[in-house]
Amino acid sequence: MFSVRKALPTDVGSVRALEDSAFESLNNFRGLPQFLEMSPRIGDEWIDVVGDTKYRLLVGVSDATIHGYLLVEIFSSLHKALIKQVFVDRSARQLGLGALLIAHCEQLVRESGCTVLEGLALPGDRDMKNLFERASMSAQLLIVGKNLD
């Protein structure tokens, strides 16, 4: 039903629209300012990401429509990769696209020499946590804090 491929420059409009939906869904979770420090919105810069060798952008497609995307940053010297964004639109959820995106990402970063794959999720984002856990990814670090104003 779905296929996953590396994003093309012609995909950036669709990915930008999905990113808008993704970030709208994050507004109700704690930690969004800290998340944005580690993984800022790409917005109009997606074309630069597609051409940047430290990133890999994957898209999930069905019937020529992009229903999801995954952005991973590769830290070659550390042999590590970090999933910075992954999102599947509501019409394609619970159909395996998220898992397919992560599986393709894992294969791609292995081929790039990475031995560790990490991902970011906000506290309370059960859907993201469950997606990562289905891919055998577990929490490795919890950051706590409070505002001192």
The token duo for 7 is 């994003």
Kindly tell me the number of DSSP H helices and DSSP E strands found in the chain: 5, 5
The token duo for 54 is 């430290």
One DSSP character per residue, 93-106 reads TTTTHHHHHHHHHH
pLDDT score for 137: 93
Q: Which residue has the tokens 């696209």?
A: 97
Q: From the CA atom positions of the chain, what is the Rg in Å? A: 15
pLDDT at 13 over 90: yes
The token duo for 5 is 């491929």
pLDDT score for 143: 77
Q: What is the pLDDT of residues 76-132, one digit of tens each?
A: 999 999 999 999 999 888 899 999 999 999 999 999 999 999 999 998 898 899 999
- Alpha carbons 23 and 73: distance in angstroms, whole number: 18
pLDDT score for 135: 93
Q: What is the pLDDT of residues 28-87, one digit of tens each?
A: 898 888 899 888 999 999 999 999 999 999 999 999 999 999 999 999 999 999 999 999
pLDDT score for 142: 77
pLDDT score for 27: 86
pLDDT at 144 over 90: no
pLDDT score for 86: 96
pLDDT score for 103: 97
pLDDT score for 79: 96
The token duo for 95 is 């159909």
C-alpha dihedral (131, 133, 136, 140), degrees to nearest 10: 120
pTM: 0.93
C-alpha dihedral (63, 41, 126, 116), degrees to nearest 10: 90
**3-state secondary structure (DSSP) of residue 27:** coil
**3-state secondary structure (DSSP) of residue 54:** coil
β-strand pairing of 116-119 with 80-88: parallel
**Is the separation of the CB atoms in 98 and 88 below 8 Å?**
yes
pLDDT score for 146: 79
pLDDT score for 42: 95
pLDDT score for 14: 97
